[in-house]
A and B are shown apart, each in its own frame.
Chain A
Amino acid sequence: MKQIGRELPRLEARAKVSGRAEYTHNLRLPGMLYGKIFRSTVPHGVIRRIETATAKALPGVHRVATGEDIRKLIPEPYYGPAFHDQPILALDKVRYVGEPVAAVLATDPHVAEAAAQLITAEYDELPAVYDELAAMRPDTLVHEVLRPAGTFADLKHLQGRKGTNVALDYHLRRGDAANAFAKAHRVFEHTFKTQQCLHLPFEPHVAVAEPGDERLTIYSSNQTPSFVRIEIARLFGWPENRVRVKVPYLGGGYGSKVYVKLEALVAALAMLVRRPVKIALTMEEQFYMITKHPTTFRIKSGVDKDGRIIARACEVYWNGGAYADIGPRVTQKSGFTAAGPYDIENVSIDSYALYTNRTPAGALRGFGVPQLVWGYESHTDLIARELGMDPVAFRRKNLLRDGRPQASGTVLRDAALGEVLDALVARIGWNAPFDRGSGTLRCGRGVAIGLKASISPTTSVAVVNVSADGSVYLYKSTVDMGQGGDTAFAQIVGEVLDVKAEEVRVVAPDTDVTPYDMGTLGSRSLFHMGNAVRLAAEDARAKLRALAAEAGLPEGTNYPPVEIFKKRYGMQAGNVIGTGSFVPNYKPPDAQTGQSDNVTPFWMVGGAAAEVEVDTETGHVRILRLINAADCGKLINPAVARTQLSGAAIMQLGFTLSETMQLDGGQVTNASLADYKIPGIGDVPPMENELVAAEQHSGPFGAKGLGETGTFGVSPAIANAIHDAVGVRITELPITAEAVLRALRGKAGRPLEDE
Chain B
Amino acid sequence: MSARTISFRLNGESVSTAIEPHRNLVELLQRFDLFGARESCGQGLCGCCTVLVDGKAVSGCLYFAVWADGKTVTTVEHLDADGALSHVQEAFIACGAFQCGFCTPGFVLMTHQLLEANPDPSDEDIRHYLSGNLCRCAAYPEIVAAVKRAAKAAGTSAGQ
Identify the A interface with B (CB < 8 A): 9-10, 12-21, 23, 25-26, 28, 110, 199-204, 249-254, 282-284, 481-484, 639-640, 643-644, 646-647, 650-651, 672-674, 678-682, 684, 687
CB distance from B159 to the nearest CB of A (A): 25
Q: Is the CB of B100 within 8 A of A18?
A: no
Q: Which residues of the other chain, B, contact A650 by a CB distance below 8 angstroms? A: 138, 140
Q: Which residues of the other chain, A, contact B93 by a CB distance below 8 angstroms? A: 9, 13-14, 17
**Nearest A residue (CB) for B48:** A202
Render B1-41 as a binary contact track against A, CB cut-off 8 A, 1 for contact. Answer: 00000000000000000000011000000100011111011
Q: Is the CB of B137 within 8 A of A482?
A: yes
Q: Is the CB of B43 within 8 A of A17?
A: no
* Cα of A679 to Cα of B143 in the assembled complex, Å: 14
Q: A19-B35, A647-B139, A673-B46 are in contact. Are A681 and B144 (CB under 8 A)?
A: yes
Q: Is the CB of B138 within 8 A of A251?
A: no
* Cα of A201 to Cα of B139 in the assembled complex, Å: 14
Q: Is the CB of B130 within 8 A of A16?
A: no
Q: Is the CB of B136 within 8 A of A200?
A: yes
Tell me, yes or no, whether B59 is within 8 Å of chain A by CB: no
Q: Which residues of the other chain, A, contact B138 by a CB distance below 8 angstroms? A: 646-647, 650-651, 679, 684
CB distance from B17 to the nearest CB of A (A): 16
Q: A9-B96, A18-B79 are in contact. Are A681 and B133 (CB under 8 A)?
A: yes
* Cα of A307 to Cα of B99 in the assembled complex, Å: 44
In-complex Cβ contact of B89 among A18, A199, A639, A640 (8 A)? A18
CB distance from B156 to the nearest CB of A (A): 20
Q: Which residues of the other chain, B, contact A200 by a CB distance below 8 angstroms? A: 136
Q: Is the CB of B136 within 8 A of A651?
A: yes
* Cα of A15 to Cα of B104 in the assembled complex, Å: 10
Q: Is the CB of B96 within 8 A of A643?
A: yes
**Nearest B residue (CB) for A15:** B101
Q: A18-B85, A19-B35, A643-B142 are in contact. Are A249 and B42 (CB under 8 A)?
A: no
Q: Which residues of the other chain, A, contact B94 by a CB distance below 8 angstroms? A: 9
In-complex Cβ contact of B43 among A19, A201, A672, A684 (8 A)? A672
CB distance from B15 to the nearest CB of A (A): 18
15 inter-chain pairs at a CB distance below 8 angstroms, sorted by A residue, are A14-B93, A16-B101, A17-B93, A19-B37, A19-B76, A19-B104, A202-B134, A202-B135, A249-B101, A251-B100, A282-B42, A283-B41, A647-B138, A651-B136, A679-B140
**Nearest B residue (CB) for A25:** B38
Q: Which residues of the other chain, B, contact A283 by a CB distance below 8 angstroms? A: 40-43
Main secondary structure of the interface of A (DSSP, over half): loop
Q: Which residues of the other chain, B, contact A679 by a CB distance below 8 angstroms? A: 138, 140
Q: Which residues of the other chain, B, contact A681 by a CB distance below 8 angstroms? A: 126-127, 130-131, 133, 135, 140, 143-144
Q: Is the CB of A17 within 8 A of B89?
A: yes
* Cα of A250 to Cα of B126 in the assembled complex, Å: 27
Q: Which residues of the other chain, A, contact B99 by a CB distance below 8 angstroms? A: 252, 482-484, 643-644, 647
Q: Which residues of the other chain, A, contact B42 by a CB distance below 8 angstroms? A: 282-284
In-complex Cβ contact of B35 among A16, A26, A253 (8 A)? A26
CB distance from A305 to the nearest CB of B (A): 45
Q: Is the CB of B100 within 8 A of A10?
A: no
Q: A203-B102, A283-B41, A643-B142 are in contact. Are A17 and B92 (CB under 8 A)?
A: yes
Q: Which residues of the other chain, B, contact A202 by a CB distance below 8 angstroms? A: 38, 40-41, 46, 48, 100, 102-103, 134-136
CB distance from B118 to the nearest CB of A (A): 16
Tell me, yes or no, whether B155 is within 8 Å of chain A by CB: no
**Nearest B residue (CB) for A646:** B141
Q: Which residues of the other chain, A, contact B43 by a CB distance below 8 angstroms? A: 283, 672-674
Q: A16-B101, A17-B108 are in contact. Are A673 and B41 (CB under 8 A)?
A: yes
**Nearest A residue (CB) for B35:** A26
Tell me, yes or no, whether B77 is within 8 Å of chain A by CB: yes
Give 13 new A-B contacts, CB below 8 A, not counting A19-B104, A283-B41, A681-B133: A14-B85, A28-B30, A201-B136, A202-B40, A202-B46, A204-B40, A252-B99, A284-B42, A643-B99, A651-B137, A651-B138, A672-B43, A687-B141
Q: Is the CB of B136 within 8 A of A682?
A: no
Q: Is the CB of A251 within 8 A of B131?
A: no
Q: Is the CB of A17 within 8 A of B100?
A: no
In-complex Cβ contact of A201 among B30, B100, B143 (8 A)? B100
CB distance from A381 to the nearest CB of B (A): 26
In-complex Cβ contact of A12 among B77, B85, B101 (8 A)? B101
Q: Is the CB of B96 within 8 A of A252?
A: no
Q: Which residues of the other chain, A, contact B92 by a CB distance below 8 angstroms? A: 13, 17
**Nearest A residue (CB) for B38:** A25
* Cα of A643 to Cα of B95 in the assembled complex, Å: 10
Q: Which residues of the other chain, A, contact B108 by a CB distance below 8 angstroms? A: 17
Q: Which residues of the other chain, A, contact B126 by a CB distance below 8 angstroms? A: 681
Q: Is the CB of A684 within 8 A of B139?
A: no
Q: Which residues of the other chain, B, contact A673 by a CB distance below 8 angstroms? A: 41, 43, 45-46, 134
* Cα of A17 to Cα of B37 in the assembled complex, Å: 12
* Cα of A705 to Cα of B6 in the assembled complex, Å: 51
CB distance from A97 to the nearest CB of B (A): 20
In-complex Cβ contact of B137 among A110, A647, A684 (8 A)? A647
**Nearest A residue (CB) for B99:** A482
* Cα of A673 to Cα of B61 in the assembled complex, Å: 14
**Nearest B residue (CB) for A652:** B138
Q: Is the CB of B96 within 8 A of A640?
A: yes
